[in-house]
Amino acid sequence: MKFSGAAKFFSGLAGSKSSAPATEAFPLLPLRELVLFPNTVLPVFITYKAGICAIDEALRRERRLFAACVRNMETGETYPAGTVANIVQHLKLPDNSYRAVLQGEYRATIDASAQRQEVALVKVSPIGAAEGEDYPVIINALMRSVQKSFSQYAGFTRKVSAETLVAIEKSERAEHMANIICNSISLKPEKKAELLSIADARERLEALLETIEIENEIFGIQKNISGNVRNRMEKIHREYILREQLKEINKELGKDTSIDEFADLERAIENRNPGEEVLLKARKELARLRKLQPLSPESGVIRTYLEWLADLPWSEASDDVTDLARAERILNEDHYAMKKAKERIIEFIAVHNLLRNEEETNREAAREAEDHGMMRRGAQDFSVKGPILCFVGPPGAGKTSLGKSIARCLGRKFVRMSLGGVRDEAEIRGHRKTYVGALPGRIIQSMRKAGSVNPVFLLDEIDKMAGDFRGDPASALLEVLDPEQNATFMDHYLEVPYDLSKTLFITTANSLHTIPYPLLDRMEIIDIPGYGENEKLAIAKQFLAPRQLAENGLKDAKIVFKDETIREIIRHWTMESGVRSLEREIARCTRRLARYAVEKGFGAPDSGVGGEAGLDSGASTGVAKRKKLSEFKKTVKIADLEKLLNRRKYKDDVVFKEAHIGVSYGLAWTETGGAMLPVETVCFPGSGELIITGNLGDVMKESGRIALSYIRSIQPKYKFKQNIAKTDFHIHVPEGAIPKDGPSAGITLASSLLSSLRQIPPKPRVAMTGELTLTGRALPIGGLKEKLLAAIRNGMEMALIPAGNKEDWEDLDKDIHASLSVVFIENAEDAFRALFNEDA
């Protein structure tokens, strides 16, 4: 069976007007996702029970029914507005479903409904559409606007038939035209149902016009977007074709085709003079790049890779300065003390100087041999391999700034890479090109930044690295920091070896304990110890104070920090092995002085009367004529510190001035320098139990048990006030919030236990350190200078140190020797004799 289209009905429907009764009952046909309009035909396929029953009932009632769109698919509820329709054609299929063609007659709304068996019968009222008797001009204008907009819509969609357009153009009634357009336009069912329900002709045309205009605007935007994309693609394709044609034309003419960007990129890589392996890799990638479309993702990856090869320094090197006197002068200008580190750098420059002279001699001999026609082996490259130096010391000791000074005295570029918190191996070796956004590791990135193959490369905070599921960066550094391997360092991104052997690597760390041994074994350890009081005084006068005066605008002022003033700051406003806090406090002083200078009227080029500046913060700021800053004078004295720095930060409250029973003072080493470790012991009747408190680690708790066992073993030599077998001991180390661990407190713990048992106080202001064994030997310890500096800071007068550290003591500075008297002990009994002023 063939269904007739909408076009054949338009001519018959256009001039006819359905005579709608006032109220009439019809079977209700719920249409799913469809809306039927008057003056149109709609082919439908009915497979659901409510629709089949409605058509059966309509065929018994003169083939007429009421068709309404379903609003809710779950409940079967329809919109109240629908269309009274006539079944023009129908075909019942074997499964009882219907194929039918409905012809819309007039719009109506449901007044009442009743259920008869399986059929819903509804009484409807026609929707009266006035034809504009009151405003015919407005209706005609709206009809023309709708016709124009719909013609534009038909041009966008190209889905509206010519017969439909002709019928709309010839339509003279608003109701008729609106029905045909609503049926032809592609809208959601709810929007069509809304247009169907509007009774007033003017309102309906306005709503229809607005809807069509919105659709036209959407189509226009889509067309512009599609056009832009199409034009861009056509342009790229056209450029590609023209470029290929130009290549072929140049080939036919025999012209040089090296002017293209690929040749420029290849020439840039060759100018860097990389190795043969790098050139082969670059040419292979260039050949792949030439075959790819410019906008393909792989093309961008290869282009970026080749640009990295072209930007990296493969043979460019800085000329080393081999003047030993100049290097020594620069190191002394930038840093105070650091004798071992400076000697190592001078040694490196001296070796480099000798090898450079030997290299020049061999080259001269090679040239002479060539002049005489002799075959001679080419001169060997005698460039010294870059050593791996590791500066270990407390914070603020100048490790990082020493790296900059080394670069300056060698005349090399300087790059710094912080390793603190690095957990990803790819940070060192990079990602492979197959990953999106892949880049080389930070080693290669820093080499590109340096622009030479022999920079001074500082790896800062190497002890702060950690590994997780992304790999172990410390293991990735093994190849970087091995002079025998780093000549062929392989970055995952580059995939070709890169020579790092000429780079001078310098690493810094606060502690060696967290550095893996294989990595530590590849480095030359240089200790950067903390500073004594005299060293801090010299650093403050030569470096810190002048720098802070310049940074705070007081370079031209005549400001003097007296020696005793700086010592007072060191003792009562800082507690560190380095000088970072000292510089911070001096900066606070200079900022306060800068404020006073401005309040006093200094700081302008105008001449005036200068004088000694006071510290009165209430000085007038309304000075009419400002004075020269060079006339601002101030000598900072101890009495001024309370006003400049407020009250003291540190007081001598850790150490008792007088002797106390059971109290001894140990010395500890930390990553931030040395620290005082007071140990307090009390004993009371019990069963021989040992209680240890103060947030101590396992090693230190073991030292306490060893000390008690040793004291028990020497009981016959000393007169104890209590029976040690029936006495409990409580050892406490104050500042329990701070973790403490290590074996070097053994002598201190034993002395405190012995003092408590004998009820004899040890000599006051005596500090001690040393690991205790069960037989009473005092084993040597590490970090001697930091520990002794902590003893000096806390006002100790004597220190007991193991005899095994005698050589370390002799290497220390004279100011430490002058500040402390030292007793070398072979065993615990030597310590007891020094503490209790009696023989064993």
Report the run of H or E that residue 222 belongs to, with start and end: helix 201-253
Q: Is residue 821 flagged as an active site residue?
A: no
124 by DSSP, 3-state: which? strand
Among 425, 415, 437, residue whose Cα is nearest residue 490: 425
Active-site position among 281, 399, 536, 787: 787
Beta bridge partners of 822: 799
Work out the widest C-alpha separation in the chain, in whole angstroms.
Answer: 137
d(CA 634, CA 492): 60
Please compute Rg for the chain using Cα positions: 48
Active-site position among 744, 751, 756, 819: 744
Q: How does 417-438 read in b/e, with b if 16+ C-beta sit within 10 Å? A: bebeebebbbbbbbbebeeeeb
* Residue 769 near residue 825 (C-beta atoms within 8 A): no
d(CA 33, CA 83): 15
242 by DSSP, 3-state: which? helix
* Residue 770 near residue 825 (C-beta atoms within 8 A): yes
Q: How many CA atoms lie within 13 A of 722 on its CB side?
A: 22
| CA dihedral of residues 231, 237, 241, 246 (deg, nearest 10) | 70
* Residue 423 near residue 467 (C-beta atoms within 8 A): yes
Among 631, 626, 638, 599, residue whose Cα is nearest residue 615: 599
d(CA 541, CA 336): 11
Among 452, 103, 131, 127, residue whose Cα is nearest residue 272: 452
Enter the tokens of residue 205: 């045309």
Phi, psi for 417 (deg, rounded to 5): -130, 120
| CA dihedral of residues 318, 321, 327, 329 (deg, nearest 10) | -110
* Residue 611 near residue 633 (C-beta atoms within 8 A): yes
DSSP 707-736: HHHHHHHTGGGS--SS-GGGEEEEEE-S-T
* Residue 763 near residue 790 (C-beta atoms within 8 A): no
Report the run of H or E that residue 114 belongs to, with start and end: strand 98-116
d(CA 657, CA 261): 81
Q: Is residue 744 flagged as an active site residue?
A: yes
Residues tagged active-site:
744, 787
